Structure 1
């Protein structure tokens, strides 16, 4: 159910710190933390060359992974280290079925993984606590990454239609150790990571993780990335029933963002009849006006004099826990603040300039903003028995307060049509597709007209900024019930009360007061699974789970089809239009069905998994044939997932899998065509008439989803000192969006006829294989030298896909050496 109210805007503190709380952060997990880490900061490799099978690190454990009736992937710190991953996106490339989108259509720059075809940007958690602020995450302080696939609002609350990510932090351990990794490589790659853990006593330890990173990008002109971070923590009471952990995390990033490459064709100038792919403009081509040129992979359309991105993240966490025999009570409180500001060039093809004239509009995408959150959660977890039936349970509650404010920079970027006029070219807001210059002397002007005068780039006035405030109160419970040695029932239920207030930005010249719109939704989600165990180390399972995505669930920190947009006009007009829209919105609901099998081999060192699933969204937001917002949208994804993780033979480890996704938009609603007015002798006989037609998306494959994807990373300890490894990563074609040239005409009698499409353009990027390699030599227990080569074949491929304008291009071949020191 939902309640919608209109609220006045009042000044004052945004959050009130309340107590109590909880949340099931990761997938139903496995062992206690003490079972997972050796505590010396070294790779999890035993003396005989066998690496421990990765285990979920989570206090919210209700079952072993093999007894968990859903698909879960764990990326441990050793895989992150071996693959040379520096960011969350780089680490996630080892998981099949995940694709990436980025900033477009109001979506900010930041990590935007798609899991099973659904945007999971707002379903990312840090140590089980929602981490909603848009950001590009590092891995220098990461112990483990957990990918839960399938609808899981029962675990994490709102969203999570296709799955979620949980990032596990490095925290103090009960013995002293120190590690340092110093990396240098091609494209001016420099990186230093330090991990220091000191046991002050048997029960007290401190840990400090630090990072400094600076690089250019192989095969890409101009772009750079610099960042530094620090993550100190202390635990009091290690090895005792009562423990207190305090931690802090800071990351500061400064970069020149990559602009990618524009798509070559638009529907207006595609030279092909029928259906054709419009791919990014790379290589040699001839424009419609007869100019031949080449767009190299390193082509950069941005402007050093204008473009930038600055981002900061600060997080403080306090955790208290106490053991009562077989039951543990934990309370976690966190304050988080993320901020970023950027101007980056979107090389826009929407006007047909790339293929039409060989020009590219340097459209400026801008944003500044910040998110703040206070979250408190309490978990009670352990084991109990009712007669012969055993229970492994986790219950808890969560209270959270979140705030997000965003605005745009005021600047001129040549938006006045035509986009690539002589004036735009002279002011460098439009450039050659074949020979752009990042060092063009861009100067901002007060307007896009010839009368404009130089002006500074400024932030939009406070009245133009949009603010979202949200409050969540939730309770949940999970139980893994061992009915017999061969039969386990897994149950979960969660209730959320989510209240969101949005204050839309008004025009800078507005003289009326701002207004706020409040909506409240009650969300109930559940999951049920049945596990049959033919043997102690194998299982067959079937499960059902739900997810709920209420309006404005991302607080403007991601692109959501169910958000509230401000209407044009005065404040009163905006209020009326937005109120009608808000009243009409509904919670988008998703259901997932899954069956699978799991087996642990070779003394539980190697895990093999297989799953088949179906995910349905039956009330997605769409436009009706009357041109109004309705909830007739339907999406369906069916697929299979195969996985392997662990040790095949002593010294030979492997991680990877294969995913097949058949993702279809069953009902995309309607779009509108306009039949031009009919005139006779200068008199309008019939006015222009709109007509609704079935959306071009209906019946087509999901955007942002690869039908086939596969990953494999393996490492062989050839001798006690020397190891060699490598991996292959495959992704099939990924769709950005669709368009066609359907049109409407009308007769003098007002009869409207739809003219069928003669051209359909599918904006997409082709599939690709990428290969990486690594070799390492351990001189002693304290010194190791490793060399990583990424994109070994120097493949030109695109790793991010956008709806209409451009695609992100991946770096070329790079290599770096890492000297690891351990104490």
Structure 2
């Protein structure tokens, strides 16, 4: 399978390269046309870059307004915590993926994938998994994937409850990706990058008005790299995004675009935790990943893990993703100021992978200095269609001004996923030693089911066999269609938003949304797949709201107070994220499920200073989630979980001086799980006729602790300074506080319902500072050079913490040189 996907990458790269040759051929004529238009000393605006006779002025870090058609006011007058990552920030920070871009925003962490949670972008905002709260141009985009930025104009991060804007979603926040579109100005930009760890990247962005009526734009990308500080791992992808717009300058327009990206990689799940609760020596322990310093095992042996230690298998592991999106957007601006927009989009995403998780569930790292190579596998497909109609405008009722936006929407989504097995007819799992105990011994090491914790070999000759104990070869196969979990959903919704200006100093922001959400889920049929497939059905009517009061003592400053709600109906993730409110189960009546609800409260202030060049914001917030789902050891579902996050956030973006730009902020976010349900414990004392069994329950281990993936403190600062009109220096600093992956304990039940806790354990990744640096030199109005040094101190740190087993180790120092050509 890796051979096939590599061939697909090569073919895709060739296609992109041929297309680029054709595009390059248009550059000279375009350049001459540009020069002719630029005579007389007038600058040309090239997509946020102003070209003059003497220099190129880069775009600003400060954004005035969200691109969403549901935004009824500028950011200054919107009573929510919103961070917009502009195109300029993406370029200056060398952010080529959504994950890299979100590292610039404090208060966001990236969660790890495992088991039923598919690989892909998994941002946590204010303690909540926002994997299924990601949108593309205001339309839900829940398919599990790793998103690129080559066709991205900006990324809008809204924090707090936001279902009212885009539909079902968690209370932490949402992410809206704004894609590039044809513009009225002609320009072309090609960038080529080389770096250490075999880093290679080419991007093309060409915008060409064919007339005053028609314009086209095409973006392309090819990317190929290893990962600094990690052995064996590689990533390859290519993408293309052409678009055409009719009515380029008129009040009526139709835009058509297609987005395609293909990616393949050798995935890395990271490093196992050093101990398990069964072999920890302390009663209360904090467990970090296996260190690179000497580590003593239970047998008294000292092992030292190399920084690049990769526990996967290069000849088995792979991940391949294909994304396609077709969009048609019609827009008309009426003379009265009303704007009507209709967006239709069809999406199709496929993903398949086998990746090794370094599993220490049986204590192998500490006991014997070995790691079990657990195989996580999946093949999946997700399709979706949405039609959204937006109407926005302004009107007055006497002296009161209204800025409104209304929308109606219909969406349909379908997904299915299965696994890779050694026998599709019987559903036999891949031969990885999962049925052998103890998990790691001389036999399993010889079969490469396990490997050394200190010096793993990614080129071990593991072979797929019909079972763990057989030597008979078996091809890796997709599981039978009946073994797939299938789901589909449809949503009909209507929303209305209004910013009401009572006076120039006092405004009210109101919004409401109604969703009728229906889902149908069919759990996998067990082997030998003779049973008929059964379906679970559920329909929910959901209302969410937002309300805010804004006071503006001066035109460039505001104070606000607001509240909002969000809702996650059962089954809404469709198996495309980590869902604690799933419908697919043979033991749960879907009618007993509840909608998970979150309410947010926020008070804050926003200021636009230094002649509207610098934006500052400060807010205090609380989010509280109820109906968090909990399933006890008997399979009984209860909705007694309750979570709370309180905190304060400070943000800044823009120019301090005409030469000095800054972007970033600080978040203080202590969190607490108020109620994680109860854990039932059964303990048998004695043997034979003297055996006595006690059963008792007590609060779950997570109760009273911080949220997983929620640092108390986080800080980001990215800055650039124009030393001369042509030479710019910049850099960045990221601080991330300690992040917990999960909590567990050992407990016994005694008489009279008494539960005794003997050990507690928290897995975590340590806090860290990371520093970046960059420099650019504009040789002339066409050619520029840029050097970016990411993690310049080569800090060893972890950027994802999973609840058990492992944490993901981030890349080491990566230095990238880029040549940029602009016309």
Indicate whether the TM-score tops 0.5. yes
Superposed displacement of residue 508, structure 1? 2.4
1:421 aligned to which of 441, 445, 469: 441
User: Per-residue CA shift, 1:504-541, capped at 9, x if unaligned?
Assistant: 00112131110111000111000000000010000000
627 and 133 in structure 1: CA distance in 2 versus 1, 3 angstrom threshold: closer
After superposition, residues 283-432 of structure 1 pair within 5 angstroms as 283-325=293-335, 326-410=337-421, 411-416=430-435, 417-432=437-452
Aligned to 1:29: none
Inter-partner Cα distance in structure 1 for 2:91 and 2:476: 41
Aligned to 1:495: 514
Aligned to 1:18: none
User: Per-residue CA shift, 1:213-263, capped at 9, x if unaligned?
Assistant: 000011000000000000000000012111000000000001000120000
Structure 1 residue 465 and structure 2 residue 484: aligned?
Answer: yes
Aligned to 1:204: 214
Structure 1 residue 604 and structure 2 residue 612: aligned?
Answer: yes
User: Per-residue CA shift, 1:484-510, capped at 9, x if unaligned?
Assistant: 110000000000000000010011213
After superposition, residues 679-758 of structure 1 pair within 5 angstroms as 679=687, 682-683=688-689, 685-686=691-692, 688-745=693-750, 753-757=754-758
- Tell me if the contact between 1:260 and 1:300 (Cα under 8 Å) persists in the aligned partners: yes
- Tell me if the contact between 2:298 and 2:366 (Cα under 8 Å) persists in the aligned partners: yes
Inter-partner Cα distance in structure 1 for 2:153 and 2:411: 25
Structure 1 residue 433 and structure 2 residue 444: aligned?
Answer: no
Inter-partner Cα distance in structure 2 for 1:617 and 1:38: 50
User: Per-residue CA shift, 1:778-807, capped at 9, x if unaligned?
Assistant: 001111000000001000000011011100
User: Per-residue CA shift, 1:557-578, capped at 9, x if unaligned?
Assistant: 0111111343xxxxxxx3xx23
Aligned to 1:74: 84
Superposed displacement of residue 42, structure 1? 5.1
- Tell me if the contact between 1:105 and 1:559 (Cα under 8 Å) persists in the aligned partners: no
Residue 554 of structure 2 aligns to a residue in which SS? coil
Structure 1 residue 262 and structure 2 residue 272: aligned?
Answer: yes
User: Per-residue CA shift, 1:470-493, capped at 9, x if unaligned?
Assistant: 000000000000001100000000
299 and 685 in structure 1: CA distance in 2 versus 1, 3 angstrom threshold: closer
User: Per-residue CA shift, 1:694-746, capped at 9, x if unaligned?
Assistant: 11111110011111000000000000110000010010000001112222245
Structure 1 residue 542 and structure 2 residue 542: aligned?
Answer: no
User: Per-residue CA shift, 1:637-667, capped at 9, x if unaligned?
Assistant: 0000100100001110000100011110001
Residue 799 of structure 1 aligns to a residue in which SS? strand
Inter-partner Cα distance in structure 2 for 1:304 and 1:50: 42
1:587 aligned to which of 587, 592, 595: 595
- Tell me if the contact between 2:254 and 2:328 (Cα under 8 Å) persists in the aligned partners: yes
Inter-partner Cα distance in structure 2 for 1:440 and 1:48: 52
Structure 1 residue 172 and structure 2 residue 182: aligned?
Answer: yes
Inter-partner Cα distance in structure 2 for 1:476 and 1:755: 51
2:629 aligned to which of 621, 632, 643: 621
Inter-partner Cα distance in structure 2 for 1:684 and 1:247: 74
Structure 1 residues without counterparts, runs of 5 or longer = 1-36, 567-573
603 and 45 in structure 1: CA distance in 2 versus 1, 3 angstrom threshold: farther
49 and 784 in structure 1: CA distance in 2 versus 1, 3 angstrom threshold: closer
- Tell me if the contact between 2:46 and 2:185 (Cα under 8 Å) persists in the aligned partners: yes
Residue 424 of structure 1 aligns to a residue in which SS? helix
Structure 1 residue 124 and structure 2 residue 138: aligned?
Answer: no
Residue 99 of structure 2 aligns to a residue in which SS? helix
2:258 aligned to which of 248, 268, 281: 248
Residue 294 of structure 2 aligns to a residue in which SS? strand
Aligned to 2:654: 646
Inter-partner Cα distance in structure 2 for 1:615 and 1:186: 43
Aligned to 1:516: 535
Superposed displacement of residue 753, structure 1? 4.2
Aligned to 1:559: 578
Superposed displacement of residue 296, structure 1? 1.7
- Tell me if the contact between 2:632 and 2:680 (Cα under 8 Å) persists in the aligned partners: no
- Tell me if the contact between 1:39 and 1:173 (Cα under 8 Å) persists in the aligned partners: no
Structure 1 residue 446 and structure 2 residue 466: aligned?
Answer: yes
Inter-partner Cα distance in structure 2 for 1:339 and 1:733: 35
Aligned to 1:818: 818
Residue 46 of structure 2 aligns to a residue in which SS? coil
Residue 90 of structure 1 aligns to a residue in which SS? helix
Superposed displacement of residue 626, structure 1? 8.5
2:666 aligned to which of 658, 673, 680: 658
626 and 555 in structure 1: CA distance in 2 versus 1, 3 angstrom threshold: closer
Superposed displacement of residue 422, structure 1? 2.6
Residue 544 of structure 1 aligns to a residue in which SS? strand
Superposed displacement of residue 60, structure 1? 2.7
- Tell me if the contact between 1:476 and 1:494 (Cα under 8 Å) persists in the aligned partners: yes
Inter-partner Cα distance in structure 2 for 1:732 and 1:38: 44
- Tell me if the contact between 1:41 and 1:179 (Cα under 8 Å) persists in the aligned partners: no
Superposed displacement of residue 690, structure 1? 3.1
Inter-partner Cα distance in structure 1 for 2:50 and 2:103: 21
- Tell me if the contact between 2:50 and 2:56 (Cα under 8 Å) persists in the aligned partners: no
Superposed displacement of residue 629, structure 1? 1.4
Superposed displacement of residue 57, structure 1? 2.3
Residue 515 of structure 1 aligns to a residue in which SS? coil
Inter-partner Cα distance in structure 2 for 1:478 and 1:384: 13
Structure 1 residue 54 and structure 2 residue 59: aligned?
Answer: no
57 and 701 in structure 1: CA distance in 2 versus 1, 3 angstrom threshold: same
- Tell me if the contact between 2:318 and 2:354 (Cα under 8 Å) persists in the aligned partners: yes
121 and 334 in structure 1: CA distance in 2 versus 1, 3 angstrom threshold: same
Aligned to 2:792: 792
What do you get for the CA RMSD once the two structures are aligned? 1.7
Superposed displacement of residue 51, structure 1? 4.7
Residue 368 of structure 1 aligns to a residue in which SS? strand
Structure 1 residue 484 and structure 2 residue 484: aligned?
Answer: no
Task: Number of aligned residue pairs: give it.
Answer: 767
Inter-partner Cα distance in structure 1 for 2:564 and 2:293: 46
38 and 662 in structure 1: CA distance in 2 versus 1, 3 angstrom threshold: farther
Superposed displacement of residue 421, structure 1? 2.9
- Tell me if the contact between 2:45 and 2:51 (Cα under 8 Å) persists in the aligned partners: no
Superposed displacement of residue 161, structure 1? 1.2
- Tell me if the contact between 1:113 and 1:119 (Cα under 8 Å) persists in the aligned partners: yes
Inter-partner Cα distance in structure 1 for 2:517 and 2:381: 21
